[in-house]
């Protein structure tokens, strides 16, 4: 089944119940921002999509740079069923069920299947071995996403059957474009007439991570509660939102240290004695 399409169909009517980062995902490549060298007009990947000759891929890059978003946009561009799983929770049994579904798609409907595996580096050797034959014979087009070097985390036989594409951290122009698109298209933000007063703080807190940028915007809006529109997001509001988010959601984890570091940079940017 197309888990992404199913997810969209099952979304609650209250858009605010869905995280902004999820609501803001583009449906196709035309709305995808960043990584022009990989997916821009005239690139090998773009041409392969035009001619329906997509090969298995591994996206390697830090969190929040668009690995999952790009995989979904690709799936919506080609005439393939899209099945998504996380290597954290999926096992060999899930892979086998997916293979059966992909074979049925191919044999009875003449339709190809894209399998997206998030955090593919979390699969062990047996789980990765289970993919080899179906990737080799084209039953499944694999798109894996990883934050780790695939040369060390993906077995050589599977790695040799995939093209590795490196997705780098987004620059400030990309972050601004993604946020502006959210402000323009998201019904919740439009209703509240959200305005950004200090982009530099957004860039510092995001640190090349679009998901973090959108989460920061969303938390800042929540912080203002039922304030009457327009909602103007200032440096002070962003910094307060960042502090509260760290304390509430990630007291000791990696996000805690990343965001605290970004917050300190933001403070120092306005106070040389900080």
pLDDT in tens, 123-150: 999 999 999 999 999 999 999 999 999 9
**Digit-coded pLDDT (tens) for 38-49:** 999 999 999 999
Distance between CA atoms of residues 102 and 81, nearest Å: 8
The gap between the terminal CA atoms of the chain, to the nearest Å, is: 53
**Digit-coded pLDDT (tens) for 167-225:** 999 999 999 999 999 999 999 999 999 999 999 999 999 999 999 999 999 999 999 98
**What band does 3 get if pLDDT is binned at 50, 70 and 90?**
very low
**pLDDT at 9 exceeding the cut of 60:** no
Per-residue model confidence (pLDDT) at position 45: 94
| Residue ranges covered by each domain of the chain | 3-166, 172-267
Per-residue model confidence (pLDDT) at position 241: 86
- More reliable by pLDDT, 3 or 32: 32
Give me the mean pLDDT over the 9-32 stretch.
Answer: 79
Surface-to-core class of residue 149, CB atoms within 10 Å of its CB (0-12 exposed, 13-18 middle, 19+ buried): exposed
Lookup: tokens for 136 = 């080799």
Classified as helix, coil or strand, 173 is helix
Distance between CA atoms of residues 274 and 272, nearest Å: 6
Classified as helix, coil or strand, 194 is strand
| Residues β-bridged to residue 164 | 58
Domain 3-166 falls under CATH 3.40.50.300? yes
Backbone angles phi, psi at 135, to 5 degrees: -75, -40
- Asked whether the beta carbons of 29 and 77 are under 8 A apart, the reply is yes
**Digit-coded pLDDT (tens) for 50-95:** 988 899 999 999 999 999 999 999 988 887 899 999 999 999 999 9
């Amino acid at each position: 089944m197309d888990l992404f399409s199913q997810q969209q169909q099952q979304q609650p009517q209250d858009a605010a119940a869905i995280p902004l980062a999820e609501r803001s995902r583009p449906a196709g490549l035309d709305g995808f921002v960043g990584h022009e060298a990989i997916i821009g007009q005239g690139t090998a990947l773009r041409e392969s999509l035009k001619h329906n000759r997509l090969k298995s891929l591994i996206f390697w890059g830090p969190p929040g740079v668009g690995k999952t978003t790009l995989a979904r946009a690709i799936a919506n561009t080609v005439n393939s069923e899209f099945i998504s799983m996380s290597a954290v929770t999926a096992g060999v049994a899930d892979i086998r069920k997916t293979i059966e579904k992909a074979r049925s798609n191919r044999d009875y409907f003449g339709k190809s299947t894209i399998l997206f595996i998030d955090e593919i580096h979390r699969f062990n050797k047996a789980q990765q071995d289970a993919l080899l034959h179906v990737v080799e014979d084209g039953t499944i087009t694999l798109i894996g996403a990883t934050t780790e070097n695939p040369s060390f985390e993906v077995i050589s036989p599977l790695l040799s059957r995939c093209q590795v594409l490196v997705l780098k951290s987004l620059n400030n122009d990309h972050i601004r474009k993604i946020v502006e698109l959210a402000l323009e298209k998201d019904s919740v933000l439009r209703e509240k007439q959200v305005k950004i007063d200090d982009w530099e703080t957004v860039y510092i807190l995001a640190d090349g991570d679009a998901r973090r940028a959108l989460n920061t915007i969303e938390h800042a809006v929540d912080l203002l509660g039922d304030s009457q529109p327009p909602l103007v997001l200032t440096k002070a509001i962003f910094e307060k939102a960042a502090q509260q988010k760290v304390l509430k959601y990630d007291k000791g984890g990696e996000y805690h240290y990343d965001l605290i570091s970004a917050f300190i940079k933001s403070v120092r940017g306005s106070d040389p004695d900080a």
